[in-house]
Structure 1
Amino acid sequence: MKRFLIYTAKIVLVTVLIAFLLDGLYTYVFMHSNNRGKIEKVFNSKAQKYDVVILGSSRANNHFVAQMFEDRGLKAFNYGMSGGHLFEASLMLKLMIERKYEIKNVILEADLNLSNDHQAEGISARFLPYIHNSEIIKDHFSHESDFNELYYIPFYRYIKYDSKIGFREIFFITAGKKTNAQDNLGYFPLEKHKNGNMKNNIVNLNPLNRNKYYEEIRTICKKHHINFIPVMTPICENTVGMNYFQKVKKIYPEIYNYENVVVEDKYFSSCGHMSDAGSKKFTARILEDFFKK
């Protein structure tokens, strides 16, 4: 029995040591990555100066043509993240402030994601390699139900989110394989598809009376003297439940409603996402309304 207990203890000890070793190795790799995605672009960067920073979900990533801002002489980058929520947008802005970014304007896509204050696990997981190296990230995740496991158990986060930050990602980073996340100054253009889904139903969607992460972004902008421009972006005219945008306007009257600025199906790749042509039309309107010389 004694031998068995000693043997078991040795296995446990070796397992823990390997977990610590792998955790340190994976984290080291992520700490030296800067060409795979937008999160590491910010985390591993030094102070930057931007005239315009764009935040939000895919409806930011696919809708704001950053180059059009640059063509107006405005240094810009689209940090919208497909699949992301305001949880991730707020954390991204916090990291920029932590890195001493100087930002004049933040454009926030704030519409459908106002209906929840949850993390988007597939996106938020990409912040986790840095959780021990940033008080900002640690604090942001500290109220999540699985925080203790993610923070205190070595290598647990890499196992749980293996598809996002596991071995495959480590391999691509070490191999120097880039993604298209940072192409086009962060903007991801979509094509018009012949069979694109032009129907949507948001009847059951309701904006929260107080979205924690929207409020965080607004407060950060006010504290750091950043001009805050929250907008609702276009959605196809066949959407059922369009009164959602009026509900948003009632709760958050400061948000600019652009949901019907571009409506024709020819400008959409799918009901919730404009094609490149639609995005250029929309971005031109934003430039006209907020950045007219």
Structure 2
Amino acid sequence: MKKFLLYIAKVFVIIVLCAVLLDGLYTYVYMKSQNRGKVENVINSKAQNFDVIILGSSRANNHFVSQMFEDKGLKTFNYGMSGGHLFEASLMLKLMIERNYKIKNVILEADLNLSNDREAEGIASLFLPYIHNSQVIKDHFESQKNFKELYYIPFYRFIKYETKIGVRETFFTAIGKKTNALDNLGFYPLEKHKNGNMKNNIVNLNPLPHNKYYEEIKTICKENNINFIAVMTPMCENVIGMNYFDKVQKAYPEIHNYENAVVENKYFSSCGHMTSDGAKKFTARILNDFFKK
């Protein structure tokens, strides 16, 4: 029995040591990457100056044409992340401030995601390789239910989110394989598809009266003298429940409502995402309204 227990103890120690070593190896790989995605692009960067930073979900990523801002002499990058929530947008801005970015304007796509203050696990996991290397990331995740497991159990986060930060992604990161995430200054253009979903029902969607992460972004901008521009972006003409945007306007009167700035279906790839032509039309309106010289 004693030998058996000793054997079990040795196996346990070996497993723990392997987990610690793998954790260190994976973390090292991610700490050396800058060109695979938007998260590591910020985390592993140094101080930069921007006239405009764009934050939000895919409705930011697909709707703001960064080059059009650049053509107006405004240094711009679109850090919108498809599938992301305000949880991740707030964390991205915190990381920029931690790295001493100088930002004049933040444009935040704030509409559908005001209805929740949860993390988007798939996107939030992209920050986890750095949780031991950034106090900002640690603090941001500390309120999450599974924080202790993610923070204290070595290699657990890489196993739990294997499809996002596991073996395959770590390998591609290690060899420096690029993605298109940083192309077009962060803007991701969409095309018109005949099978695109041109129906959407948001009748049951309601904005939270106080969205924690939206308020965080507002506060960060105020504390760092950043001009904060929050906007609701367009949806196609077939949407049921468009009074959601009126609810947002009532709860957050400072948010500019552009849900009707572009409405024709020909400008949409799906009901909630504009094509490249729609994005150009919308971006021109934003430039005229907020950056006209």
Aligned partners of 1:164, 1:195: CA distance in 2, in Å?
Answer: 28
Divergent runs of 4+, >4 A: none
What aligned pairs does 1:24-173 form with structure 2 within 5 A after superposition? 24-173=24-173
1:205 is the counterpart of 2:211 = no
- Matched residue type, 2:233: T
Aligned partners of 1:45, 1:72: CA distance in 2, in Å?
Answer: 25
Q: Deviation digits for residues 13-40 of structure 1, max 9, x if unmatched?
A: 0000000000000000000011110000
Q: Report the alpha carbon displacement of residue 175 of structure 1 after superposing the two structures with TM.
A: 1.8
Aligned partners of 1:127, 1:18: CA distance in 2, in Å?
Answer: 22
- Matched residue type, 2:285: R
Q: Report the alpha carbon displacement of residue 196 of structure 1 after superposing the two structures with TM.
A: 1.4
Q: TM-score, normalised by structure 2?
A: 1.00
Q: CA RMSD in A?
A: 0.4
Aligned partners of 1:36, 1:166: CA distance in 2, in Å?
Answer: 14
Aligned partners of 1:80, 1:176: CA distance in 2, in Å?
Answer: 22
Q: TM-score, normalised by structure 1?
A: 1.00
Q: Report the alpha carbon displacement of residue 180 of structure 1 after superposing the two structures with TM.
A: 0.2
Q: Deviation digits for residues 140-173 of structure 1, max 9, x if unmatched?
A: 0001000000000000000000000000011101
Aligned partners of 2:94, 2:238: CA distance in 1, in Å?
Answer: 37
Q: Report the alpha carbon displacement of residue 176 of structure 1 after superposing the two structures with TM.
A: 1.6
Structure 1 unaligned spans of 5+: none
Which secondary structure state, in structure 2, belongs to the residue aligned with residue 282 of structure 1?
Answer: helix
Aligned partners of 1:56, 1:142: CA distance in 2, in Å?
Answer: 22
What aligned pairs does 1:168-207 form with structure 2 within 5 A after superposition? 168-207=168-207
Aligned partners of 2:197, 2:135: CA distance in 1, in Å?
Answer: 42
Q: Report the alpha carbon displacement of residue 195 of structure 1 after superposing the two structures with TM.
A: 2.2
Q: Deviation digits for residues 79-114 of structure 1, max 9, x if unmatched?
A: 000000000000000000000000000000000000
Q: Percent identity?
A: 76
- Matched residue type, 1:255: I
Q: Deviation digits for residues 107-156 of structure 1, max 9, x if unmatched?
A: 00000000000000000000000000001000000010000000000000
- Matched residue type, 1:65: V
Which secondary structure state, in structure 2, belongs to the residue aligned with residue 8 of structure 1?
Answer: helix
